[in-house]
Structure 1
Amino acid sequence: MTLDATVFVVDDDQAMRTSLQWLIEATGMTVKTYDSAAAFLKDYYPGRAGCLLLDVRMPGMSGLELQAHLATEGHRLPVIMITGHGDVAMAVRAMKAGAVDFIEKPFHDEDLLRSIRNALEFDEKTRASRLAKAEIVRRLAELTPREHEVMGMVTDGRSNKEIAAALGVSAKTVEAHRARVMEKMRADSLADLVRMALIAAPEGPL
């Protein structure tokens, strides 16, 4: 779990906020509480590690509206929805919109803590994936246009001979381009290069 991860709690019920803060802090996790979505947005800045524990029904901006706002702004903070009686349909909407879990009131402490730990673990993994993707994209930017062509054909499974024919160059020239691609991408094998190409694709893992 990331050491600087924070559990952000947004709930208009002061007693609930206090109870959640005591419960979560007792496990050694860092907690910040807010009485409204507006207060959270005023304090939060993009890129902070952690997860968001969010009440569905609140005055002003609701939990669902805050979740939608964060998604629109490109923030990927994992969201756990807290729902009261009759809010299950809303919670399902929240899950379809990307929430990692929803917890119904009244809840068992261990169920909530387990959900929080899972959300923090998810945040850590996706954060690592985004960093890895950014590094691969940076390496790709160092390739020449011809090296990009060669890499695309190599990762499509085409042989040096086929690539040479397609580009109108010798197989030896293709070998030289291929060697430079492997070096610049820091790929140890063809399988490694293919994996990088898949990660760097627009629809690749984040």
Structure 2
Amino acid sequence: MKDIPLALYVVDDDEALRRSMLLLLSAPDLAVQAFDSGEAFLDAVDLSQPGCVILDLRMGGMSGLAVFERLRAAHSPLVTVFLSGHGDIPMALEAVRSGAWDWVAKPDTRQLLDRLPDAIAQARARGQASRLWDELTPREREVARLVGLGQPNKEIARMLVPPCSPRSVETHRASVFHKLGCANDNELGRWLAAYPWLR
């Protein structure tokens, strides 16, 4: 089955840059949208859906950092790449330490095009993870979270609401492993750590 185009957003108050980005990034497997402000972007986009956002660090109105903080507060899976003026490099580095994927100095479009494929690949991986997570039943998600925390079956059985038997927990655990492609508790823990917004 063919993947639906990945959502790619450009958020920058420079109209010429937005236009050039729309031309540069046009591709059949990308659904590219541009916004002239952080406010317009936040009003229009479903922050719970995976995708990639190219976000200018400094804009009139809401700054790129303020937008990024909103994404973090919403536990958004969006992969963020910052566009930064040279004077803002320390700020961009701090944003990466806080969870942004990468940053690129403006107006280096070649550097952006070189780095963007990794960000897009990460966004696609997050989208696949979301689809797998959605295939779990609500009870399987509960069990997965507790298994990821290292809880044994007996303790999980007691903690669930309503409680169930350890044998039922083992059945749910096996189903979670199968659906997510994890071989053991450690792999599941790493999987959940890689996609924290799913928890």
Comparing 91-100 and 191-200, the one that deviates more? 191-200
TM-superposition CA deviations, 1:66-115 (whole Å, max 9, x none): 10111112212111000112111111121112111101123143x31232
Cα offset, 1:179, TM superposition: 5.7
Q: CA 1:61–1:139 in 2, change beyond 3 Å: closer, same or farther?
A: same
1:102 pairs with 2:90:
no
Partner of 1:117: 117
TM alignment of 1:6-155, pairs within 5 A: 6-25=7-26, 29-109=30-110, 111-132=111-132, 135=136, 138-139=139-140, 141=142, 151=153
Unaligned runs of 5+ in 2: 144-150, 156-164
Cα offset, 1:65, TM superposition: 0.8
- Give the letter for the 2:79 counterpart: P
Is contact 1:81-1:103 (8 Å) kept? Answer: yes
Q: Secondary structure at the match of 1:7?
A: strand
Q: Secondary structure at the match of 1:30?
A: strand
Quick check: which has more Rg, 1 or 2?
A: 1
- In the superposition, the TM-score normalised over structure 2's length comes to 0.71
Q: Percent identity?
A: 27
Is contact 1:136-1:185 (8 Å) kept? Answer: no
Cα offset, 1:137, TM superposition: 6.3
Q: CA 1:138–1:196 in 2, change beyond 3 Å: closer, same or farther?
A: farther
CA distance in 1 between counterparts of 2:194 and 2:50 reads 19
- Give the letter for the 1:194 counterpart: D
Is contact 1:4-1:49 (8 Å) kept? Answer: no
Is contact 1:84-1:105 (8 Å) kept? Answer: yes
Is contact 1:51-1:116 (8 Å) kept? Answer: no
- Give the letter for the 2:185 counterpart: V
TM-superposition CA deviations, 1:111-146 (whole Å, max 9, x none): 31232221121122233335545628632658xxxx
Partner of 2:172: 184
Partner of 1:194: 185
Partner of 1:172: none
Is contact 2:50-2:126 (8 Å) kept? Answer: no
Quote the RMSD (CA, aligned, Å). Answer: 3.3
The runs of 4+ residues in structure 1 deviating greater than 6 Å are: none
- In the superposition, the TM-score normalised over structure 1's length comes to 0.69
Is contact 1:55-1:63 (8 Å) kept? Answer: yes
